[in-house]
Amino acid sequence: MQPNTLLDAILDEAGISHAGLAAHVNQAGRARALALRYEHTAVARWLKGQRPRGQVPDLICEVLAARLQRPVTLDDIGLGVPGEPATPHGTTLSGFVERATALWRCDEQQRPHILGAPAVTGTPAVMPVWEWENPPEDVDVSRGGRHRVRMSDIEMLRAARAHYEQMYRKAGGVATRTRIVGFLNSETAPLLRGSYTDATGRQLHRATGGLVAIAGICAYDSDAHGLAQRYFHQALRLAKASGDRGLGAYVIALLVNQALFMREHRQAVAFAEAALRAAGRHITPALASDLSAMQAKAYAHLGDGSSALSCIRRAEQAADRIRRGYEPDETGYVQPGLVNVQVAEALLSLGDLSAAREHAAAAVDNPAHDRGRVHRLAMLSQIELRQGNADRAVVTAVEMAERARGMESQRLRDRLRAVREHLVASGCAGTSEAAELIDGALRVPL
């Protein structure tokens, strides 16, 4: 029996307590000649996943609709008939908003079934990308709610996205995730349920999509892959509602990165191709270079050297066209040297150590934010070990460990452990010092 997160979220939105809902349901039942005597304990059972009997689900919808002054369906409260398709309202943008905000609420409450959910594969993983790429589009995203959304609200969301992105880069996703999820619940959810025109709504959904994408990145960095995937899928749906194809392509790049980590290499190739194809002229050089570089990594892991090299050429050509100041905020992560480190990883998989080191060294020579530099140093150290240059690898690893200290990131911990393992196996001089520094960085609690 799974907790009814939708009912939980809509009760919170309506501001009704468990006892209050029970009393209102009893009262609504009397109008239908039903003698109901529900108490708060019954509502608690419904929230745990028990389905109310008879006409009670309809009565709950009636009570909540009157309170919220909008239609409320069985699917909206998580009580649709099992085995039957969702009502049309359940697939609308309004229905999506209710489900999205319910997830945020459960994440903030650290519900185990949300935090521990595995990432989906196959059709459920592909459908959100397919739906983003194909019709129908959202003709009108306006909404009538209690509070009017203003441009100042949207600017607040944009500023929050930039703030949490910088926090993630400096402190890691583990430390940032609880803060951004709290913001989504307290500030963003009320705005999505507010009142706005179609034009304002598109900007609202775009700003929210960028923020939700950062929440997904933080979940990914915390090893909560199923949750991260759900946030990415939400961000993709919000991107579609905004009408911004470039934002959608950026979100797909995040899905490509996750697919690579999960070793779903064919899916990574297909997703990147979908983003490049569907975004078309709306895709920026920075994003095109990153998508092509990740495609190269996927092809290299699949053993397709020809396709990998072709993607590397496209990535380098796109990187040469990047113009700072002409890129959206979301692609700011494509800093000088990022394509080099991506290409280095692809070349390492292909066995071209000399070219891989050249690109990895170029990546390290370029400035990068804190966590990006740790990843670049880890890649360079790994290549130097593979080349047999253990002394140089130790020096690189020492710098990597010093820069990683204090960051709460599961992905960085993975890189640190991998480098430590390779260093110890090499048995070269200086290994103990580097291993001790890495151990110190790994002692940061997650």
Report how far residue 217's alpha carbon sits from residue 55's, in angstroms, rounded to the nearest whole number: 42
119 and 162 together in one domain: yes
Domain end residue (candidates: 224, 243, 262): 243
107 and 189 together in one domain: yes
Please give the DSSP secondary-structure letter assigned to residue 400: H
Q: Which pair of structure tokens corresponds to residue 15?
A: 């501001």
Q: Which residues, in sequence order, are CB contacts of 414 under 8 Å at separation 6+?
A: none
Tell which phi-psi region holds residue 303, choosing left (phi > 0), alpha (psi between -120 and 50) or beta: left
Closest CA to 249 of 421, 396, 129, 93: 129
First to last CA, the chain: 30
Crossing angle between the packed helical segments 56-68 and 5-14, to the nearest 10 degrees: 40
Residue 363: CB atoms within 10 A of its CB come to: 26
Report how far residue 155's alpha carbon sits from residue 329's, in angstroms, rounded to the nearest whole number: 13
How many domains, in total, are found in the chain?
3
Provide the 3-class DSSP secondary structure of residue 110.
Answer: coil
| Cα 148 to chain centroid, rounded | 28
Tell me, yes or no, whether 257 lies in a domain: no
Report how far residue 349's alpha carbon sits from residue 341's, in angstroms, rounded to the nearest whole number: 13
Tell me, yes or no, whether 170 lies in a domain: yes
106 and 213 together in one domain: yes
Q: Tally the residues of the chain.
A: 446
Domain that holds residue 430: 369-446
Q: Tell me what percent of the chain is helix, strand and coil, each rounded to the nearest 5.
A: 70, 0, 25
Q: Which pair of structure tokens corresponds to residue 153?
A: 């609200």
Q: What is the pLDDT of residue 8?
A: 87
Tell me, yes or no, whether 16 lies in a domain: yes
Q: Which residues, in sequence order, are CB contacts of 236 under 8 Å at separation 6+?
A: 128, 129, 132, 209, 248, 251, 252, 255
Tell me, yes or no, whether 11 lies in a domain: yes
Nearest-5° angle of CA 365, CA 369, CA 375?
A: 70
Q: What is the pLDDT of residue 183?
A: 98
Report how far residue 428's alpha carbon sits from residue 386's, in angstroms, rounded to the nearest whole number: 13
Domain end residue (candidates: 228, 243, 258): 243
215 and 115 together in one domain: yes
11 and 115 together in one domain: no
Question: pLDDT in tens for each of the 446 residues of the chain?
Answer: 678 888 988 888 788 999 999 999 999 999 888 999 999 999 999 998 899 988 999 999 999 989 888 788 888 888 886 544 444 334 589 889 988 998 999 899 888 888 888 999 899 999 999 999 999 999 999 998 889 999 999 999 999 999 999 999 999 999 999 999 999 999 999 999 999 999 999 999 999 999 999 999 999 999 999 999 999 999 999 999 999 999 999 999 999 999 999 999 999 999 999 999 999 888 999 999 999 999 999 999 999 999 999 999 999 999 999 998 899 999 999 999 999 999 999 999 999 999 999 999 999 999 888 889 999 999 999 999 899 888 898 889 889 988 888 888 999 889 889 888 888 887 776 678 788 888 887 776 55
112 and 237 together in one domain: yes
Residues forming beta bridges with residue 296, ordered by sequence position: none
137 and 178 together in one domain: yes
Distances (CA, A) of 186 to 89, 147, 181: 25, 14, 9
Contact at 8 Å (CB) between 397 and 381? yes
101 and 211 together in one domain: yes
Closest CA to 376 of 395, 390, 361: 361
Specify the pTM.
0.85
Tell me, yes or no, whether 28 lies in a domain: yes
Q: What is the pLDDT of residue 82?
A: 56
Q: What is the pLDDT of residue 81?
A: 64
153 and 69 together in one domain: no
Q: What is the pLDDT of residue 90?
A: 40
128 and 208 together in one domain: yes
Tell me, yes or no, whether 382 lies in a domain: yes
Domain end residue (candidates: 243, 262, 282): 243
Tell me, yes or no, whether 346 lies in a domain: no
Q: Which pair of structure tokens corresponds to residue 234?
A: 């939400």
Q: Furthest-apart CA pair in the chain: how many Å?
A: 85
19 and 159 together in one domain: no
Please give the DSSP secondary-structure letter assigned to residue 195: B
Report how far residue 132's alpha carbon sits from residue 242's, in angstroms, rounded to the nearest whole number: 11
Tell me, yes or no, whether 197 lies in a domain: yes
CA dihedral 59, 61, 63, 66 (to 10 degrees): -140
78 and 125 together in one domain: no
